[in-house]
Structure 1
Amino acid sequence: MKIGLRILLGYFLIVGVAAWLLMNVFVEQVRPGVRFTMEDMAADTALLLAGVVAADVRDNRYGDGMLARLQAATQRPLDAAIGGVAKQSVGYRIYITDVRGIVRFDSAGKAVGQDYSRWNDVYLTLRGKYGARMTREIPNVEASTVMYVAAPVRDGERIIGSLTVAKPISGVKAFIERSQRKVMEWAALLLGLSLLIGVAMTWRIMGTLRKLMVFVADVQAGRKAVMPKLGSSEISTLGHALEAMRAKLEGKDYVETLMHTLTHELKSPIAAIQATAELLEEDMPPEQRRQFLATIQAQNARQRDLIDKLLALVRVEKQQRIDEAEPVDIASLLQDVAGDFRARLEARELQLEVAVDDTPHVRGDVLLLRQALGNLLDNAIGFAPRGSTVRMAARIQGGRLEVSVADAGPGIPAYAEARLFERFYSLPRPDGAKSTGLGLPFVHEVAALHGGSAGVVNGEGGGCHAALLLPLHTERINNT
């Protein structure tokens, strides 16, 4: 099933179910609502009539006076159209009982003399309560139901009888059916409009998706493809993301920049090796020869270091996630990094202080973290004045674990602050040595893989403060 059809069916299903539930509840409430209204009106009518005929009932005048006029009024024909429904007769039947429950007056003339004392309307009313009942004139036939609502006939405060107003439910059936029919018509119209809106929305979404699918097909086939105009929707964002992924996958800009910079960086050591090798062809004192050989070895080591770090950087840049994150003991990790650089620290007469708070473990790749912290410590050693102290510390900062390396060197010049994490960008060290410029980019990529970040700033008291910020072990790491 195509995505457009799935969207349309899902939308229509949601709207349809919601409309059906709403209309079903509404329709089901129409019938009892009308009945409650009818009962309310019947109760008012019974109460008013009971007050009007109270004197006739007290004087036992059931065949003349007000009751005679009331009976005549109920038999008069009508010619009315109410809500589109024709009405030709009075729907009320009125009967009155004495205090014993014996019917003494019946506007329909069919129950006079009968004992109604056990019917709820009469029984409850004669006892000062609200009396009403619903009775089917024909058993098991819902349409024959008649509503009876009674009110007490009083002589002062004394109850001398009951007056019941009866109204067949069939009299309002036409109104109920008409209301239900209108509700269903509007429900059908609502569903129809919802379907049209759904079709329009799906058509528009599918039109945008089709453009994107054509673009993806062209890219997949290796054809030249221009990103289509997709408006400002989320699909447009997806399209631009695919375009960016395409550029990265093809790697044209990446490879071009990488090869250009790598060639530039390798020119110096290659030229130095070649010039030194040419000089070695001549006769020279052994001491000078040893110096030239040392130069060749140093330049070769520089090339090897450059290539190794570049391969490590490319590998971590291409890595999208940490496949198997494991708990990392930061205290042990810092001690291992310190051990890796013990010889360099001693050679430059530097002291290394390691301070670790009682921090929880983090999760990640131990080897990558060790390499990243090694790069930060290597930079600190290169810029720290001889005989000074380098400090490594780990502490919880702002809900994350901050692992920092600080030195007492010259700090970061203002012109270099924005370029520290650029590939191959490096600052000259106090001893004149030049790094590969790949260490901090590597640290940045490792931090991103762990869901964290890296930063380098000037220290408050001078020197440089480099930090690796990592999420704590309870946080999710890079969607793994």
Structure 2
Amino acid sequence: MKIGLRILLGYFLIVGLAAWFLLNVFVQEVKPGARSTLEAAMNDTAQLLAQLVAEDVKQGATDPTLLARIAAASRNSDYRITITDEKGIVLFDSAGKAVGQDYSRWNDVYLTLRGKYGARMTSEVPRDYGSLGMYVAAPVRDGERIIGVLTVTKPISSVQGFIERSQRKILKWGIVLLGLSLLIGVAITWRMASTVNKLMVFVEDVQAGRKAVMPKLGSSEISTLGHALEAMRAKLEGKDYVETLMHTLTHELKSPIAAIQATAELLEEDMPPEQRRQFLSTIQAQNARQRDLIDKLLALVRVEKQQRIDDAAPLDVAGLLQDVAGDFQARLNARQLHLVLDADSALQLRGDALLLRQALGNLLDNAIGFAPPGSTVTMAAQRSDGHVEIKVCDAGPGIPAYAEARLFERFYSLPRPDGAKSTGLGLPFVREVAALHGGSAQVVNGEGGGCRAALLLPLHAERIASA
């Protein structure tokens, strides 16, 4: 399971459980809270009325005018008021139902006559919640002596609508808050998962040896981790790279150094001027080979360590091919080769002009070295499925089967028809430049013979109309 999904599920579980408990508590507290408020109001009413009727109950009679006012007040407020004597016999009932009945066993009357707080909830019709009423009693006193009980009754159904409305409102806003919390959770999780995924892609690219640029990870702990991984990668790769580079460079320089040393020793002997000039030419050639090797190796090192192109710009592909052709015109003439350029003048791409010029120069240099004198070399560019494909084709002997898989290895080269030996760094350089531009390089045998080298580069700019 992906880390983003784990975070989202964990967040959803925590928020969901918290919301369920809170909503459950609030909803369940509405009913007792409303009843507690109602009971307090009824108790105040009962205490006040008990004081008003105390003198009448003491004299064994009740003032009809007072009772009429009490009865009218109870009808207007959904209250039912009963008054009992000290034995619990009902003296007055605003509903006119229970006069003369014995209420001494009901909790409200029973507890109040004994100096305690008396209240109860009872349904007038058994098991009928709609007839449930709350009974709150207050003592009718003659000094310190309790001479009766006044009970105020109110049906629960009168506040049930308020309770249900409050519960619905709490549930509604609770669900809204839960939804907002989940949306916030999804946004935070998506951001975290996106950041982690960027870091994972970077790590996978590094592990696979591909060009990898440290992504923007914000200012979180994940960003700190990413920069730490980047620094560690740079140190480890730098150490391994230097060790490999020094080993291969030492191996490649052994031959020219040995040749120069042997030739220099021979020059110490007496020899004809013509032979001396030949040996000096050998020294100069080997020295030039060393210089070429070092220059190309340094160029390869720079492009291999480079992870991205910082100054990409729009490039005219046809113009780029013409520039490369101009760089090698002298060599083409020396080999009596005819160069054909075929590129749409409106075809453009974005990239580093210098690197692409060097890469195409390496491909053209190989084509010139392997093409038979007097033959034709072709450089062509065309659009292919959202890419620009630049091909360099020659009519040379082609690639032997044993060398096809090793062409892009550093320092690996094939002997040229004229006996010259290349550095074996040109094609690795081409491959790195292609990778920097998000593309690829390929060298294969041509369908009609010879060799076909190609750069496949993403087309970042659409064709534009020629002026």
Structure 1 length normalisation: TM-score? 0.54
Deviations 1:64-109 (A, max 9, x none): xxxxxxxxxxx9x843557xx56348xxxxxxxxxxxxxxxxxxxx
Does residue 438 of structure 2 align to residue 465 of structure 1?
A: no
Structure 1 residue aligned with 2:402, among 415, 423, 428?
A: 415
Partner of 1:395: 382
Among 243, 246, 249, which residue is 2:235 paired with?
Answer: 249
Match of 2:254 in 1: 267
Shift, 1:282, TM fit: 0.6
Q: Structure 1 stretches of 5 or more lacking a match?
A: 1-6, 28-74, 90-167, 209-234, 476-480
Going from structure 1 to structure 2, the CA distance change for 1:80 and 1:187 (only over 3 Å counts) comes to farther
> Structure 2: how far apart are the matches of 1:441 and 1:185?
64
Residue number among 309, 313, 330 corresponding to 1:322 in the alignment: 309
1:301-380 map, 5 Å: 301-380=288-367
- TM-aligned CA deviation for residue 387 of structure 1: 1.7
1:359·1:395 contact (CA, 8 Å) conserved in 2? no
Match of 2:131 in 1: 87
Secondary structure of the structure 2 residue equivalent to 1:79:
coil
- Length, aligned pairs only: 302
- What amino acid is aligned across from residue 249 of structure 1 in structure 2? K
Amino acid at match of 2:125: D
- Cα deviation for residue 11 of structure 1 reads 5.4
Structure 2 gaps, min length 5: 1-6, 28-96, 98-122, 134-156, 197-220, 463-467
What is the Cα deviation at residue 249 of structure 1? 2.4
Secondary structure of the corresponding residue to residue 421 of structure 1: coil
Deviation of the 1:474 alpha carbon:
3.3
Q: Is the 8 A contact 2:340 2:377 kept in 1?
A: yes
What's the secondary structure of 1:457's corresponding residue?
Answer: strand
Distance in 1 of aligned mates of 2:283 and 2:295: 18
Cα distance in 2 for residues equivalent to 1:460 and 1:241: 48
Is structure 2 residue 424 aligned with structure 1 residue 437? yes
Alpha-carbon separation, structure 1, partners of 2:433 and 2:365: 16
Q: Give the secondary structure class of the aligned counterpart of 1:416.
A: helix
For residues 410 and 80 of structure 1, what CA distance do their matches in structure 2 show?
109
Equivalent residue runs for 1:218-237 within 5 Å: none
SS of 2:131's equivalent?
Answer: strand
Q: Structure 1 443/300 Cα, relative in aligned 2: closer, same or farther at 3 Å?
A: same
Work out the percentage of aligned pairs sharing the same amino acid: 69
Letter in 2 for 1:429: R
The CA RMSD measured in Å over matched residues stands at: 4.5
**Residue identity matched to 2:271:** M
- 1:243 Cα deviation (Å)? 5.9
Shift of 1:246: 2.6
1:396–1:183 distance in 2 versus 1, CA, 3 Å = closer
**Contact in 1 for aligned 2:318/2:345 (Cα 8 Å):** no
Residue correspondence of structure 1 range 38-117 to structure 2 within 5 A = 78-81=124-127, 87-88=131-132
Any idea what SS the aligned residue of 2:324 has? Answer: helix
> SS of 1:374's equivalent?
helix
TM-score of the aligned structures, taking structure 2 as reference length: 0.55
